[in-house]
Structure 1
């Protein structure tokens, strides 16, 4: 009996290890680029140098800003597009840029906080972080008081400010792993 009992235990242990191995492989295959690293890294986005704009409709999604569900952030236009399935724009809005810009490229949302104090000392909500530029964490946020003041150029801050309503929309849309494409 003792021999068959240890054989059963060994069989169950092997089955458990195989199951854990399969689950670990599946999980690693589904981790978006940039997650699990101490800092998000950029990779060149298609058309990252300067995405063409539709002069008749300046709020139109720029060509060359990627495909699929994503957040598109234009450094030159200080504008964000929340792009859903089928490349359909769900919302677009203006933002106040941070003092530190992330380089154009493709990132992933790495962390989120409901309410914190921003690097500029302002209480913020709906913080969606996606990049690290030389030690400055960059992300979208809304000031709790609704302000969108220009950042102090003497401070190295990474908060891209949006209105509270736009911050709520970003919070609902940009969960951990969501793609963020930064363009010129």
Structure 2
């Protein structure tokens, strides 16, 4: 069976021929549009692209150095450690004004203190002692008249060292010596108790002070006792 073929009048073909745009026009329009787009793209590129200048070989390129100012940072203040004042030795009390002159040993009963004084008035040593708890030593001037490296108490209750005798009490010698030690080997008083009248007549001293006075005061050394 034959396929039907549409038949059109001749005049329709003529009209269609005039209405259909030629192919060359379509291609040309496309080319023109493409050319216009290219021109537009080139124009936009020229407008929005930054201009670049290229230095020639003869021109030196100077680098631009950008400096930035850093913020000022203050160094922390370090407080120096305060120097603590060195502890000062306690002031040496002067001897009593009525204690005489020259090189001498001074014993003040009121302060329970001894001074060893040089001929020029310099105090070589001063320290607390324990004198008699009885009123058996009169104020006045004496002199060292005997020395005993080891001695025994009058009632044989103990011993003492570095005995320096300068007078006699009611019946027994009176002098400077170390704190007595009883027969059991105990001190009759503590070192901390020096400065209080606790003896039976003599002047008690620390062992090192008693040894120092023993070496410092030979026979004949003046001894002044004040109230």
Deviations 1:59-92 (A, max 9, x none): 2222121000000000111100011120111000
Instruction: Please report the RMSD computed on the Cα atoms of aligned residues, expressed in angstroms.
Output: 2.3
Which residue does the alignment assign to 1:60? 94
**Higher strand proportion (structure 1 or 2):** 1
* Structure ranking higher on relative contact order (CA contacts 8 Å, 6+ apart): 1
Are 1:133 and 2:169 matched, yes or no?
yes
Unaligned 5+ segments in structure 2 are 1-89, 190-196
Q: Is the 8 A contact 2:101 2:119 kept in 1?
A: no
Q: 1:36-115, aligned counterparts within 5 Å?
A: 59-100=93-134, 101-115=136-150
Unaligned 5+ segments in structure 1 are 1-55
- Number of equivalences: 125
Change (3 A) 1:119 1:151: farther
**Deviation for aligned residue 1:57:** 5.5
Q: Is the 8 A contact 2:92 2:126 kept in 1?
A: no
| CA–CA separation in structure 1 for the residues paired with 2:96 and 2:160 | 29
* Structure-2-length-normalised TM-score: 0.50
Q: Is the 8 A contact 1:96 1:148 kept in 2?
A: no
Structure 1 residue runs of 4 or more that deviate by more than 4 Å after TM superposition: none
Change (3 A) 1:76 1:87: same
Are 1:169 and 2:212 matched, yes or no?
yes
Change (3 A) 1:59 1:122: farther
